[in-house]
Structure 1
Amino acid sequence: MYILIEIYAKSAAKNLYEASNYADRRLFQTCKEFFTKVYIEC
């Protein structure tokens, strides 16, 4: 049972990580569109 919970937690963490990466990329694209002239690389 414990192993099953651990696997679920790991996959949930992975999904969360991928979702936040996707959100960051979307935000980055939007920022690039808005600030094409004043583009500062972070």
Structure 2
Amino acid sequence: MPNWLKNQLSQAFLTKNVNQLKVLNQCWFFYKRKQQSNDG
């Protein structure tokens, strides 16, 4: 997981920002899916 995403997630978690957590979660799954498709 990229450092920028870790930082954003921890900040959103600490401030209990549910909307930001949802968006970042979607970003992570999109990023992961894109990386897997590039590997194959």
TM range (shorter): 0.5 to 0.7
Percent identity over the alignment? 4
- Name the CA distance, whole Å, in 2 between partners of 1:6 and 1:14: 12
Runs of 4+ in 1 over 4 A off after TM superposition: none
- Out of 28, 32, 39, the residue aligned to residue 13 of structure 1 is 28
Q: Where does structure 2 lack aligned partners over 5 or more consecutive residues?
A: 1-15
* Paired residues, number: 25
TM (norm. structure 1) is 0.56
1:23 aligns with 2:38: yes
TM (norm. structure 2) is 0.59
The residue number in structure 2 matching 1:34 is: none
Q: Please tell me the root mean square deviation across aligned C-alpha atoms, in Å.
A: 1.4
Structure of higher CA gyration radius = 1
Q: Where does structure 1 lack aligned partners over 5 or more consecutive residues?
A: 26-42
Structure having the higher helix fraction is 2
Quote the offset at 1:10 in angstroms.
0.3
